[in-house]
Structure 1
Amino acid sequence: MNSPAQRNIPSRGTILLEFLGSMNLAINLLVTVAIASVVGTVLQQNQPYQDYIIKFGPFWHEVFKSLGLYDVYAAGWFLVILAFLVISTSVCIYRNAPNMVREMRQFRTRVQAVSLRNMHQVQEWHADAPVAALESRYRAWLRQHGYKTRSADHDDHHLIAAKKGSWNRLGYIFTHTAIVVICLGGLVDGQLPVRIKEMLGQIQPETRDIPASQVPEISWLPEGNPSFRGNVTIPEGGRAGIAFLQLRDGYLVQPLPFTIELKDFRIEHYVTGQPKSFESDLVIHDPEREQPVEATIAVNHPLIYEGYAIYQASFDDGGSGLSLTAWPLSHPTLDTQKVETAVFESLEVETPAGRQTLEFESFRPFNVNPAPEDSGKQFQNFGPSFTYKLRNTQGEAREYENYMLPVELEGRKFFLSGVRENPNQPFFYLHIPADPAGSPQRFLAFNALLRDEARVREIAAETVRQTFSELRLQEPGMVEEVTATMGRLVRMFARGGFDGIVEQVEATVPEDRRMQVIDAYMKVLRNILSALYAEVLRAEGVDLSAGINERDSRFYEDTLNAVTALPLYGSPFFLQLESFEQVQASGLQITRSPGKSVVYLGFTLLMIGVFMMFYVRQRRIWVWLQPQLDQTQVILAGSGERDRRDFEREFTQLYQGIRRAGESG
């Protein structure tokens, strides 16, 4: 037989229920969920891992990845916390809801006089009327003022118990139930089925950038997947019957029971170039319908079709056609090549550095940028541009951004071509001066001439002979020596610009003679470069009888600056955009979230519960009636939740009203 001490020891089940239903556990879980929600709001979710590496660096990327912060709402630990929160709140409801319901229904008619006298609000007096008359008058007055009443006869007294606002207890039940309902909705829409299938090895994310038709079956989800959030980009005139779900460093393919066709895409911009609005005309082709469904969607105005929500999420290029001219930058001739391609296409090209790949990535029809300070404008449209990557056989790539039209800067026009080796770096722009015809041809002709060693020797020799003739010098051996020096300096300049010559001098000349040698080299180089530029002008038919005019002189200085920057440019050719045929694409987000309705129900319960808790106040009143000789002893006591001052005023009014009601009879 168990001792009394042993009988008082709670069972393991009781301890577990007390732990799961404890306030401390619920608060800790709620705080954790709140912090996770803040992280999920601040940190953009479900982006390619490469974007996070660029933004945070390799170390913090791995830290955030291991914590699951890139997909917080579908992270295993977050789903476990939600599940525990559901269990904890459900246990709390199970343990406390019955008591609350009973308390709502009870009038507490067995209260003692001593308990009434110990309440914060109490009044006591003697009335001249009998108990029966007072009981009738007091109950009528209380009911008149919104109280429900119940009377009870006891041995030596009569008690009236009254209450109102007792249904505010439902507020606690509704708010706790709302938490459970919201969490259940979150679990339904939290990719829980996908996580379970991945843990069981039934699905595996695809990490390769390949067409959907080549994605293996293990990376496809079933068409009846109950909840998902995917994205797809459709070009104008194109169709798609799938969506892609980003999952860590890979993706899954979600087939749809219908096909989405993009009939037309429209976009408007602010003067700053930022998108103002964009919308898509969609056609839904459903085999279950005889006629297709047409609809227009815009930002915050989705199409809801058969439980699927189709949102206007973004826009992109849809594979615009590009007509390009490839100008050589490392050849002694201007043998250009015409290139017909499109965005998202790749081309294999032969270069002096070996076979490389051109990857065309995007096209923009216009670029609105801050205007130069001397233009008098706030913004300026720099015109169309396209971006591409030049990738070598080792997989290393440089990214380029070329503008189609020359841009005016400080009164002169330049073709801009940006280059960068890393996506997190800003573009370094090569400024190719535009000739009077608005073409880069004069600059490119000069650049090609620099690399034509035979022609450079001829022009250098002619320049030296002419100079010696003007100075009346007769030094045949010196002519050849100066000519060779000029040729060597031009080759050095073509390979590394002015900096290349300085580096060569620093590597071969003693320090005490470097400045003298550099000055001499620069004078000789300037002479031969001027002669080469004059040769280019004469080939264009420019009259040089009066010398080079100011405009052509400025062009010459801009040309030298551009040639000096070519080693940093790192491309064997310059791609000039001649014409284009724009094709736009609409970025759609497609979601199926049956848990959304559950969450809405939860929020409705939450709002009702909060309203009931804060704006419905429970009030209880007791009236003790005890006959004493020819009088009746009356004890009026009351209790109210929250705001004691407010209840004190109300109780005073109740006391005055009840006393008048008893005396008026």
Structure 2
Amino acid sequence: MSNNDQAATAGPAPASRQKAARKPRRTRIIVDFMGSMSLAITLLVALAIASVIGTVLVQNEPYTEYLMDFGPFWHEVFAGMGLYQVYSATWFLLVVAFLVVSTSFCVYRQSPGLLKDLRRYNLQVKEKSLRSFHSSATGDLDQPQEEFAQHAHRVLKAQGFRAREKTSEGQTVIAAMRGRWNRMGYLLTHVGIVVICVGALADGTTLLKLNEWLGNLEIETRSVPISEVPRSAWVPEWNPSFRGSVEIPEGASANVVFLPVREGYYVQELPFRIELEEFRIERFSTGAEQSYESDLVIHDPDRDEPLRHTISVNHPLIYDGYAIYQASFADGGTKLDIDAIPLGAEALQELEVPGRVFQEMDVPTPDGGNRTVEFINFRSENVVPLLNEEGVREDRQLGPSFDFRLIDRTGQGLYYRNYMRPALQEGAMYFLSGVRETPADEFNYLFLPADSDDSLERFRTYLAMLHNPEVRNAIAQQVARDDDTVPDEQSEAIARTTAELMGLFAEGGYGAVHEEIERRVPAERIDEVRDLMIRILHAGLQGLYMEVLQDEGVVSIQEEEQRFLEDAISAINAISLYQSPFFFHLKDFEHREASGLQIARAPGQSTVYAGSTMLIIGIFLLFYVSYQRLWIMARRREDGEGTHVVMAGTSNRHKVEFEERFAHLKRWIIDQKPVGSDPQREDSHNKNT
């Protein structure tokens, strides 16, 4: 070969060979990274943070609830991060998937060595290396080498060690191990994490997200009847895992469940129909719910007869892989018999309003228009904090109530809650009506005084007479004539002023009266005139009240009647803020309950349980089982009369305990305790001590 040929041969390798040489190295880098402890810890920390968020922040609530709780800005931030459905968020599922891959790589890398450790006794040791152990001992015995080896095997077996022996060139090496299943703890722990994550992915919403990404599913955001939900929002029975809810009224049934998804929902089909025969609820003496249960009937085409079962809180029904939980309760469409008592001046005739919860109806208003009443909810029991006669706030049972919204032509309206029976407040009885602008606000209450029969008849009569111009004029003239301090020539003017003030008060309360005074009277005389006008107004209101009492046959005004007048004046003054032409009084109702069911299908549940069991066993083996190794080297002494022994050992856990065990083993094996001693019994005694 020429020099040029040699130079060519010794030159750089071809590019293809260099690429082939680098490829395994890159693969190993990827494997090392995916199986690294740092990546696994990072993923576990991410899952821990997500679990904390999912525990602290209530999941799968309607977006309107979150909007009211956090405001528009933080609501958008949290929604964008998927914090309202943490366990089904894309990033959470990706973290779980990466954890599965990372842990699987770790198991792939470590399993061969761990399995080999279970069988490898390592009989190829040197005396010098044994002497370097922290736990080591030497000794010279008069006992022959073979007899010593037999004695050592007996002691090791009594102490729970598994031993192997090798003799070569006149030297005997005994290798023993105890607690080798500690090495399996590492494997079981990691495999358990993988199994748990696989079960979590099986119970996740990956399949739904994939179909949504492909355009097979579209989220429905409208609150419409089930018959109007488009088929693009329906999830067929093939969906392997889900968790949703449905409310079923008594006597009704359903074969679907609603899956909350971000700002809307999907409709999940069920292979069977659930009927609610009866819903029962028990309450404490305070009216709070104690327990509730539902009598269900499962209609399945695959069954010859329907299945009847009663569920309650924490006692679900598991049917064909579907878990049916008693989650909540609601109104199922209670029928309401309502009187609409007019509060305005244009009409004095009350209306009968037959309503039903979750329905709407139009009510003609006194001004000739219409208002839409949306009946929202009904509660048969209500506990409200009210003031007693001593002025102390205490919880009172107010009985039935119904919630509704009164909507005007522009689609705007306030929310109301009216109670059926009057309540005792500071020694008097009142009919209560709460009003608020949004469901997130607190109620402001209108108190309408009840008469001695616990009815609104006296107040209705007084209000109707106050809104009648002819009655106002007649009362005003009578009050002016009966007032001895008013000259005859001023009587007519005082009567007109009294009637006008009463009309203003009927329309807008004290606010309307004050505005009229400020409009007509110079600023420097407003305070003087205001006091005079209020006295004249009260005289007219008092005279009108006396007319009401005379019609009832009441001769004299007692303290109770006088307080009723004060309460009636306060209520009429607040009507202008009430913003409703009617007071809706509930006369009767036909209650209908609805049971709130949560239905879940989790095929990965058993997988998660299996993984959890593996994880628990693995952690137990890692923390409570110590992997102990022991080596004994025996050879003939140099004088040829006995045996020279070197013993060493190590443990991966419980170092102090192993040091004590090693000291006992040294006494039994090297120091040769007297014949008849039992190392197993003594070891047990030492443990108990």
Q: Name the TM tier (shorter chain).
A: over 0.9
Question: Any conservation in 2 of the 1:124–1:634 contact (CA below 8 Å)?
Answer: yes
Matched ranges for 1:9-48 at <5 A: 11-48=25-62
Asked if 1:548 is matched to 2:557, the reply is yes
Q: Secondary structure at the match of 2:615?
A: helix
Question: Any conservation in 2 of the 1:414–1:431 contact (CA below 8 Å)?
Answer: yes
Q: Secondary structure at the match of 2:670?
A: helix
Match of 2:382 in 1: 367
Question: Any conservation in 2 of the 1:265–1:586 contact (CA below 8 Å)?
Answer: yes
Asked if 1:561 is matched to 2:576, the reply is no
1:441 shift after superposition: 1.9
Cα deviation 1:555-611 (Å, max 9, x = unaligned): 000001111111121110001111111111111011111011111111111111111
Match of 1:63 among 77, 84, 88: 77
Matched ranges for 1:395-434 at <5 A: 395-434=411-450
Matched ranges for 1:619-634 at <5 A: 619-628=628-637, 629-634=640-645
Counterparts of 1:356 and 1:443, CA distance in 2: 24
Match of 2:234 in 1: 220
Counterparts of 1:507 and 1:96, CA distance in 2: 92
Matched AA of 2:89: A
Match of 2:584 in 1: 575
Matched AA of 1:293: L
Cα deviation 1:316-357 (Å, max 9, x = unaligned): 111111111110000355311111121111111232394321
Cα deviation 1:224-267 (Å, max 9, x = unaligned): 21111111111111111111111111111111111111111111
Counterparts of 2:607 and 2:274, CA distance in 1: 28
Q: Secondary structure at the match of 1:630?
A: coil
Matched AA of 2:594: A
Match of 2:476 in 1: 460
Matched ranges for 1:332-481 at <5 A: 333-351=347-365, 352=367, 354-370=369-385, 372-374=387-389, 379-467=395-483, 470-471=484-485, 473-475=487-489, 478-481=490-493
Q: Secondary structure at the match of 2:539?
A: helix
Deviates further, 67-76 or 365-374: 365-374
Counterparts of 1:622 and 1:101, CA distance in 2: 20
Cα deviation 1:268-301 (Å, max 9, x = unaligned): 1122322111111111111111111011101110
Cα deviation 1:383-442 (Å, max 9, x = unaligned): 111111111232222111111111111221100111111111111111100012221121
Question: Any conservation in 1 of the 2:506–2:572 contact (CA below 8 Å)?
Answer: yes
Asked if 1:601 is matched to 2:638, the reply is no
1:18 shift after superposition: 1.1
Distance 1:114 1:395, change over 3 A: farther
Q: Cα RMSD (Å) of the superposition?
A: 2.2
Distance 1:449 1:533, change over 3 A: same
Counterparts of 1:649 and 1:508, CA distance in 2: 105
Match of 2:650 in 1: 639
Q: Secondary structure at the match of 2:613?
A: helix
Which ranges in structure 1 are unaligned for 5 or more consecutive residues?
none
Counterparts of 2:372 and 2:599, CA distance in 1: 34
Q: Secondary structure at the match of 1:565?
A: helix
1:639 shift after superposition: 0.2
Match of 1:652 in 2: 663
Match of 2:223 among 209, 212, 220: 209
Q: Secondary structure at the match of 2:376?
A: strand
Counterparts of 1:615 and 1:408, CA distance in 2: 66
Question: Any conservation in 2 of the 1:282–1:297 contact (CA below 8 Å)?
Answer: yes
Counterparts of 1:321 and 1:594, CA distance in 2: 41
Matched ranges for 1:491-570 at <5 A: 491-506=503-518, 509-543=521-555, 547-570=556-579
Question: Any conservation in 2 of the 1:182–1:599 contact (CA below 8 Å)?
Answer: yes
Match of 2:208 among 177, 194, 209: 194
Counterparts of 2:132 and 2:518, CA distance in 1: 100
> Size of the alignment, in residue pairs?
658
Matched AA of 1:217: R
Distance 1:171 1:94, change over 3 A: same
Match of 2:65 among 38, 51, 59: 51
Which ranges in structure 2 are unaligned for 5 or more consecutive residues?
1-11, 677-689
1:144 shift after superposition: 2.2
Matched ranges for 1:86-485 at <5 A: 86-155=100-169, 157-331=171-345, 333-351=347-365, 352=367, 354-370=369-385, 372-374=387-389, 379-467=395-483, 470-471=484-485, 473-475=487-489, 478-485=490-497
Q: Secondary structure at the match of 2:174?
A: strand
Q: Secondary structure at the match of 1:166?
A: coil
Question: Any conservation in 2 of the 1:119–1:639 contact (CA below 8 Å)?
Answer: yes
Question: Any conservation in 1 of the 2:273–2:298 contact (CA below 8 Å)?
Answer: yes
Question: Any conservation in 2 of the 1:137–1:661 contact (CA below 8 Å)?
Answer: no
Distance 1:506 1:646, change over 3 A: farther
Question: Any conservation in 2 of the 1:237–1:264 contact (CA below 8 Å)?
Answer: yes
Deviates further, 311-320 or 5-14: 5-14
Question: Any conservation in 1 of the 2:435–2:443 contact (CA below 8 Å)?
Answer: yes
User: Normalising to structure 1: TM-score of the pair?
Assistant: 0.95
Distance 1:503 1:648, change over 3 A: farther
Question: Any conservation in 1 of the 2:337–2:587 contact (CA below 8 Å)?
Answer: yes
Question: Any conservation in 2 of the 1:137–1:662 contact (CA below 8 Å)?
Answer: no
Counterparts of 2:32 and 2:44, CA distance in 1: 18
Question: Any conservation in 1 of the 2:338–2:587 contact (CA below 8 Å)?
Answer: yes
Q: Secondary structure at the match of 2:235?
A: coil
1:453 shift after superposition: 2.3
Q: Secondary structure at the match of 1:11?
A: helix
Question: Any conservation in 1 of the 2:667–2:673 contact (CA below 8 Å)?
Answer: no
Counterparts of 1:42 and 1:370, CA distance in 2: 29
Match of 1:587 in 2: 596
Question: Any conservation in 1 of the 2:256–2:270 contact (CA below 8 Å)?
Answer: yes
1:660 shift after superposition: 4.9
Deviates further, 78-87 or 365-374: 365-374
Cα deviation 1:629-650 (Å, max 9, x = unaligned): 3232111100011221111111
Matched AA of 1:498: Y
Counterparts of 1:410 and 1:472, CA distance in 2: 38
Distance 1:439 1:472, change over 3 A: closer
Deviates further, 180-189 or 348-357: 348-357
Counterparts of 1:17 and 1:634, CA distance in 2: 45
Counterparts of 2:23 and 2:644, CA distance in 1: 47
Deviates further, 38-47 or 270-279: 270-279
Distance 1:407 1:637, change over 3 A: same
Question: Any conservation in 1 of the 2:645–2:670 contact (CA below 8 Å)?
Answer: no
